[in-house]
Amino acid sequence: MPSCTVNHPLVAHKLSLLRDISTNSKDFRDLIRELTMYLTYEATRDWELEKTSVRTWEGRDVEAFRAKGIDPTIVPIFRAGIGMQEGFLQVIPTATISYIGFYRDEETLLPQMYYAKLASRITERKVYILDPMLATGGTTSAVCSYLKKHGCTDIKVLCILAAPEGLAKMDEDHPDVSILPAAIDSHLNEKGYIIPGLGDAGDRLFGTK
């Protein structure tokens, strides 16, 4: 039985629709976007606030709060990570976008990099990696290594489904990086697919095969 790590009935409901093979690409994209909004709320719980004041309707100044000098960037991993971009930006519209392209070789299951364009001043930013699937963990681990090589120190991963195997690899390779999956599934099959999972996230998002 997969466990849902974001404790909310709507997350469980939307995850069930995602797993359903009869869900079409348009609905699949909507569900990934909606789930990413929940993940973004959870992932930003640690943001600090600073005090300010606002003038209210009565003309009085009252204490108020604003997020403290936070300048995040998202790293949607091509291709399936693109599906999570809009949900994050609906919650944090000012985030910059650092694209990284990886695909997983279907024979070796090893991640192959083909593109990267990072935000300016990325070393000063909170970094949120977006990829719906953490399977063997090879892709996410390689992306973390790449970002660290470029000076990033504050990295979080938002994903829809994670396999225990991938979480263990991340714990070993990058214990400083926190992972926020909407659900943790049972295991990987012999082809490295998450079980029960949802199939190939990129293909289901974009209607490819």
Q: Interface with ligand PRP includes 109 (CB under 6 A)? A: yes
Q: Interface with Mg ion includes 34 (CB under 5 A)? A: no
Report the candidate in 3, 21, 14 with the shortest Cα–Cα distance to residue 163: 3
Is 44 catalytic? The answer is no
DSSP letter for each residue of the chain: -PEESS--HHHHHHHHHHH-TT--HHHHHHHHHHHHHHHHHHHTTT--EEEEEEE-TTS-EEEEEEE-S---EEEEEETTTHHHHHHHHHH-TT-EE-EEEEEE-TTT--EEEEEEEPPTTGGGS-EEEE-SEESSSHHHHHHHHHHHHTT---EEEEEEEE-HHHHHHHHHH-TTSEEEEEEE-SEE-TTS-EESS-S-HHHHHHT--
Could you tell me which stretch among 31-39, 114-122, 158-166, 199-207 binds Mg ion (CB under 5 A)?
199-207
Is 104 catalytic? The answer is yes
Q: Binders of ligand PRP among 176-205, rule CB under 6 A?
A: 192, 200-202
Q: Binders of ligand URA among 117-136, rule CB under 6 A?
A: 133, 135
- Of these partners, Mg ion, ligand PRP, ligand URA, none, which one is at the site of residue 139 (CB under 5 to 8 Å by kind)? ligand PRP
- Of these partners, ligand URA, Mg ion, ligand PRP, none, which one is at the site of residue 76 (CB under 5 to 8 Å by kind)? none
- Taking CB under 6 A as the criterion, the residue among 76, 87, 111, 197 binding ligand PRP is 111
Catalytic one of 52, 56, 108, 208: 108
Q: Which is nearer to ligand URA, 126 or 204 (CB)?
A: 204
Q: Interface with ligand PRP includes 131 (CB under 6 A)? A: yes
List residues near ligand URA by CB under 6 A: 80, 133, 135, 192-194, 197, 200-202
Residues annotated as part of the active site:
104, 108, 200, 203
